[in-house]
Chain A
Amino acid sequence: GENVEQHPSTLSVQEGDSAVIKCTYSDSASNYFPWYKQELGKRPQLIIDIRSNVGEKKDQRIAVTLNKTAKHFSLHITETQPEDSAVYFCAANAGGTSYGKLTFGQGTILTVHP
């Protein structure tokens, strides 16, 4: 089955700096890669996603890049703000008969210091 590795497990930055979180996946049939933000005790919320036919996607301060050959994708947050502090999860949705189930990385605790 699909395996998703996420690094780093914790990331601490100063307000205004950029943050990068990286994930690798194992199943070459995976075709959908979402990123979720989860605040303490709350539900995971989708912040950005990318499909396998696209190499990069941007939404304001957030961007995701995908390298299908290397089977890795990354989340980039620019001009970080204290409210970006949360746990971020990457995920992969294997194609074929997986019917959309998501395999998640282990999460990255991002702390943005004012």
Chain B
Amino acid sequence: DSGVTQTPKHLITATGQRVTLRCSPRSGDLSVYWYQQSLDQGLQFLIQYYNGEERAKGNILERFSAQQFPDLHSELNLSSLELGDSALYFCASKSLTGDNEQFFGPGTRLTVL
């Protein structure tokens, strides 16, 4: 167990819908990263937050957004869902120290029908 939690574990929804994925980082970690893992694209960085502020953005679609709350949990919002959004979504957290290691949560498997 990495100490990072994600809910829900599985999510099945229809095209055009909107979903919210939730992540709680390890205790004390201020940084949260979101990654998308699909069969044909591998692990792709989406977005990073640090202590409530957006710090880095990857190839995140405009239909996707995220935020980090004062208690440091983060939510990834996916809207106008398409079949191609079906993937595993991982969040990871990193400590404040110089150690670069990122600890991954168990992921949320999103299936868009």
Q: Which residues of A contact B (CB under 8 A)?
A: 32, 34, 36, 41-46, 49, 51, 89, 91, 93, 98-107
Which B residues are CB-close (under 8 A) to A104?
Answer: 42-45
Instruction: Evaluate contact between B100 and A34: CB separation under 8 angstroms.
Output: yes
Instruction: Evaluate contact between B33 and A101: CB separation under 8 angstroms.
Output: yes
Given contacts A43-B90, A44-B90, contact A32 B106 (CB under 8 A): no
B: interface residue count bin: 20 to 34
Which among A32, A99, A101, A105 is the interface contact of B42 at CB below 8 angstroms?
A105
Given contacts A43-B106, A103-B45, contact A98 B56 (CB under 8 A): yes
Given contacts A43-B2, A44-B43, A106-B42, contact A100 B102 (CB under 8 A): yes
Instruction: Evaluate contact between B43 and A99: CB separation under 8 angstroms.
Output: no
The answer to whether the Cβ of B74 comes within 8 Å of any Cβ in the partner chain is no
B104 to chain A, nearest CB (A): 4
CA distance A73 to B35 in the complex (A): 23
Question: In the complex, what residue of chain B is closest to A103 when comparing beta carbons?
Answer: B45
**Could you say which of A34, A51, A98, A100 has the most chain B C-beta atoms within 10 Å of its C-beta?**
A100
**Could you say which of B43, B50, B90, B107 has the most chain A C-beta atoms within 10 Å of its C-beta?**
B43
**Binary interface profile of B, 48-63, with partner A (CB < 8 Å = 1, else 0)?**
1010000110100000
CA distance A36 to B90 in the complex (A): 14
9 cross-chain CB contacts under 8 A? A44-B104, A49-B100, A49-B101, A91-B43, A99-B50, A102-B102, A104-B44, A104-B45, A105-B42
Which A residues are CB-close (under 8 A) to B101?
Answer: 34, 46, 49
B11 to chain A, nearest CB (A): 15
**Could you say which of A32, A102, A105 has the most chain B C-beta atoms within 10 Å of its C-beta?**
A102
CA distance A100 to B44 in the complex (A): 14
Question: In the complex, what residue of chain B is closest to A6 when comparing beta carbons?
Answer: B42
Which among B45, B50, B103, B109 is the interface contact of A102 at CB below 8 angstroms?
B45
**Binary interface profile of B, 71-113, with partner A (CB < 8 Å = 1, else 0)?**
0000000000000000000100010000011111111010000
